[in-house]
Structure formats: structure tokens, C-alpha cells
Chain A
Amino acid sequence: MADSAIPRPRQATSSATRQVIVVREAYIAQTRRKRLYSGIMLGVFVALMASGFMLADSRNAGGFWSGLHRLPDFPASVMSEAWAKRAELPENLARYFPALIETLNIAAVSTLIGTIGGTLLSMLSTRGLARWPRLIPLFRRIMDVMRAVPEIVIALVLIFVLGGGPVPAMIAIAFHTCGALGKMFSEVNENASLKPVEGLASVGANWSQRMLLGVVPQVAPNYLSYALLRFEINIRASAILGFVGAGGIGYELKNAISWGQGKYDAAAAIFLLLITTIIIVDQLSSMGRDRMTHGRKSEMMA
């Protein structure tokens, strides 16, 4: 291929040969086609957005435009009340800290269970790795269902059956996490090299040994980053489930943020706790990931 393409001595732009003209025309035609497609796409997108908005606005009880100017009112009243009672902030933070720990525990346990379940499901549903290749569609559909059912529905059913408390929330979030992480992990698995797996198969290792020793070391950093992102999402999810009686900081938030309770200072303290937690988790996870990749570098150097 290389020798057919050695540059021939030629004046810059003056002598456009037949071939160049052909290439030009073909490329311009290709560009026009692409532009036409993206123009149509853009038109359809704008039309859908506009019609969707108009439909939503017509079905809205209050009206979007008439209510828009009142949007900042609620945050403003929360902020002003919290500012007026700012002296009580440390006391509020201390009061709601145990509830935050409960929320964090729900998130941590459900992330851990979800990660283990997701790992298993992802291995079972990745082409080339699956234990039973014919059952791949089955495991994929199971994961779809796990993702499709809203956490809050599972939590409500379990609270009805088991009574309120952190356990229903934990099960509900773990169920969803399994499906969500399983899908992401299986995409990571697809990029893993099959050569170590083949090497382990050649020494007579069984399926779980091949997966644990051949695949997991390759995919661990990516798994970790997805699992940590999921942990952040689960903190928020477990806070929301508190609204329906699953305990933790969400229950306190629901009581504090309801209109006319005069507890906006407590709501502000809870938001502060949640935001700080997310920032800390984010910092810790990037530190952990950093150490993992740097650890790998020093291993490679050694």
C-alpha cells in the first residue's frame, strides 16, 4: 500500500487532475448528504421538543409561564429562614448526623450486594464469557426487569409486607443496583482480553476460577469506578426512600421540608449534610482510583 502512495512531484493547487476532481465531487456529495441528514435530525428534534413542551404545558394544572417567576420563591424562603436561625445550625447538624449514618449504611450495603450480584449477572450475560451461552438473553432480560422496576415501588411493597425500616430500602436499592451495574459491567467485560481466560482454561480451571482470576483483575478498576458512582447515586436514592418511611435522613428531610412547619433551618442542615457527604465520597473515590492505577504502575515498573 505504501509504495503506491509515494508523493509525486506536483504543483500545489493549480493542476487538479481527473482523479482529484472525482475525489472532490464524491466527498462534497458525501458532505451534502451528511448535512442533509443532520439538518433533518435537527428539525425533527426541535419540532418534538416544541410540541412536547406545548403538550406538557397545556396539561399542566398551573401553567408554566405564569408559575415560572415564582420558581425561586421556595428556595428563597428556605434560605432566609435558615439564615435567620443560623445559630442553631451546629445543633441541627449534630441532631441529624445519626440519620445520615443510617442512610449511608443503607447505601453502602445495597451497593456492596448490588456489585456482587451485578458481577455475577454480567459474567453470565457477556458473549465469550457466559457459563451457559444460550441463556444470555434470559439473564439480560432479568437485568432489564431489575432496572425497569422503580426502587420506590419495591420499597413500598416491602414496607407493606415487612414494616418500615432500613431493610426494605436496602433490598429495593440492591435490586436496582444489581441490574444497573450488571449492564455496565457486562459492557466492561466485552473489552476484556480472552487470552488469560484461555490460558486458565488450558490448565483445567473451572468457570468461576476463570472469571475470578482471568477476568476480574482486568476489569477491576472500571468496576470500582462504576460501583463508586453507583454508591453516590444510592446515597441519594436511600435518602429519597426515607420519604416513604424507610428511615434515614430522608424521613427527617420530609418532615423538615413540608410547607409551614417552620423547620427550614433543619432542612438546610440536612441538605448541607447530604452535599458534604457526596463531596467526601467523590474525593475518596478519586483517591482510591488514583491509588489503584498508581499501584499498577509501580507493579509494572518492578
Chain B
Amino acid sequence: MNHVLHIDLLTKTFGHHTAVDRATIRVDRPMMIGVIGRSGAGKSTLLRMLNRLEDSTSGAIRFEGRDVTRLAGADKRAWQADCAMIFQQFNLVPRMDVVSNVLHGTLNRRSTLASLFSLYPTADIHRAIDILDRLGIAEHAPKRAEALSGGQQQRVAIARALMQDPKIILADEPIASLDPMNAQVVMEALRRIHEEDGRMVIANLHTLDTARRYCDRVIGMRDGRIVFDGTPAQLTTGMAREIYGADARFSEEATSTEIEAIDRVTTRQMPITA
């Protein structure tokens, strides 16, 4: 029963609008999963329900046999500590220093009074700096988070997630606000966390080639429903057009954010049909 995530008929409605429609996903071992789809397809709502930032309307999320949609109070916050979230806009506290932001990952274990006076154990501070070093930004430790570039801030957010020592890492469009270079650094960091630590990573991605390149499994969503669930190899161009509701003009290279993609378009002249 280790690290098993079963999502059953998970549904979320906002008034008359159904954001996520009977989503069913079964994950039996830690893997890196990419969720793709147009904006408004329900990707973010799905992740936010997993972290319990959003309550589901119906359905169940079972992790290691426990239905997390029914948790409340301290149990819910303990689940949130186990299920780290990374946001598109980083969602750090801009005026606090980088290490403090990373130490926020331990808040679930700390009392309000201890957090108010920043009384973190020295061991935790050392671990926070080690995590920052692992992500290559240890030299920025004492700076304010707002003084860092977007790519560096996103790595601070990943460090905060790692500080939680989570079982699952959710990433909601982690690279949508970053330039191609920083996007690659962040995606490689997420991949490495998955490979080295064996953590489950679920990332919403807005470009197909990123999902193909970094993920073991791709889930395609359209209008709240899951329309594709398989390996990157099974994701054909036809399937991708189905997910994005696009016509024959759609080409994967045209939406790519990777630097090599420019070479691929000019040299090969043909979209990949994997």
C-alpha cells in the first residue's frame, strides 16, 4: 500500500460550470506525471483538490488507502504537509529571506508562537541550506525572496516543497512564468527529485514537448474530463489535437518553449509523430 494514489470519479462544479468531471486516475508507484490540456481544462482545479486548497464536490481521493477528501482540521493540514504544492507565480513571501521561506515547509510541525519568533531548530536551518545547495542557489540564502529572478524563486519554492519531505509533489504550471533556460533548470530539478528521492511528482504543463521529455506518464484533460492517460509514446499528434481541440494546423513545435525546438523546426520541417 505504499505511495498508492487512487482518484475516483472526482468532480468539482462552480455553479453550473463543471471544472473537473468524474476524473479517475490510478497511480500504483511513484512516477512523474504530466497533466496537459488547454487553459480552463480543469488541470489546476484537479491539483488544488489534491492539495485540499479546493474542496471537491463529489468523488474520492485515496492515498495509501485513506480518503483525503474527508479530512478536516489538523488531519487536513497534515495531509497538506505530505502533499507539497508548487505554483506558477511561486507564492513565496516576498519580504522574507530565502531560508525563512524554505523553513516555512516545516510550519505544520511548529507551533504558531515558535513560528512568530522564527525559532527554527538549527538542524532544520542546516537542512534548508543543504536543499538550497542541492538546487544550486545556496549563495542566495540570506537574500530577500523578492530580490531573486523568477527561475531562482521557483527553485526556492521547490526547496520549500522538499523541506516538507512530502510523499507527493504537485506542480501547477511550474514553468509558465519562466524563460526557456530557467524552465529547463526547474524541470530538470523536478525530474531529479523524482529520480533521486523516489517522490511522486504531478505537474500541470502547458506545453506538450515538456510533458514528453520529462514525464513517465501523460494525462490529457479537455473540458474537465480525462481524455488521454498513457505513456508519452502513446501520445500521437492526432491525440494531442484531440486534447487541445485543435485542427490540422496544430504542430507541437509551434508551441514549444525549448531552445532546441527552433533547430528541429528549421532542420526537419516535419512535426514529430511519436
Contacts and interface: CB of A to CB of B under 8 A. Distances in A.
B13 interface: no
13 contacts: A2-B179, A2-B185, A5-B136, A5-B152, A5-B155, A6-B136, A7-B136, A8-B136, A12-B134, A13-B130, A23-B129, A23-B138, A28-B125
Interface residues on A, range: 20 to 34
B269 to A, nearest CB: 30
B134 A7 contact: yes
A141 interface: no
B117 interface: yes
Query: What is the interface of chain B mostly: helix, strand, loop, or mixed?
Result: helix
A197 B65 CA distance: 62
Nearest to A6: B185
Secondary structure at the A interface, as helix, strand, loop or mixed, is helix
Given A7-B188, A10-B134, A27-B141, 9 more contacts: A2-B185, A5-B137, A5-B151, A7-B134, A7-B135, A16-B130, A19-B133, A35-B119, A38-B117
B118 interface: yes
Contacts of A35: 117-119
Interface of B: 99, 117-119, 122, 125-127, 129-130, 132-139, 141-142, 149, 151-152, 155, 179, 181-182, 185, 188-189, 192, 196-197
A30 B118 CA distance: 12
A27 B142 contact: yes
A24 B125 contact: yes
Interface of A: 1-3, 5-10, 12-13, 16-17, 19-20, 23-24, 26-28, 30-31, 34-35, 38
A23 B141 contact: yes
A35 B116 CA distance: 11
B133 A2 contact: no
Contact of B130 (A12, A26, A30, A31): A12
Contacts of A6: 136, 185
Contacts of B117: 35, 38
Contact of A24 (B129, B135, B179, B192): B129
Contacts of B181: 2-3
A31 B118 contact: yes
B142 A30 contact: yes
A2 B129 contact: no
B136 A20 contact: no
A1 B152 CA distance: 9
Nearest to A17: B133
A9 B192 CA distance: 9
A19 B132 CA distance: 12
Contacts of A27: 99, 125, 129, 141-142
B149 A7 contact: no
Contacts of B125: 24, 27-28, 31
Contact of A2 (B127, B130, B149, B192): B149
Contacts of A30: 142
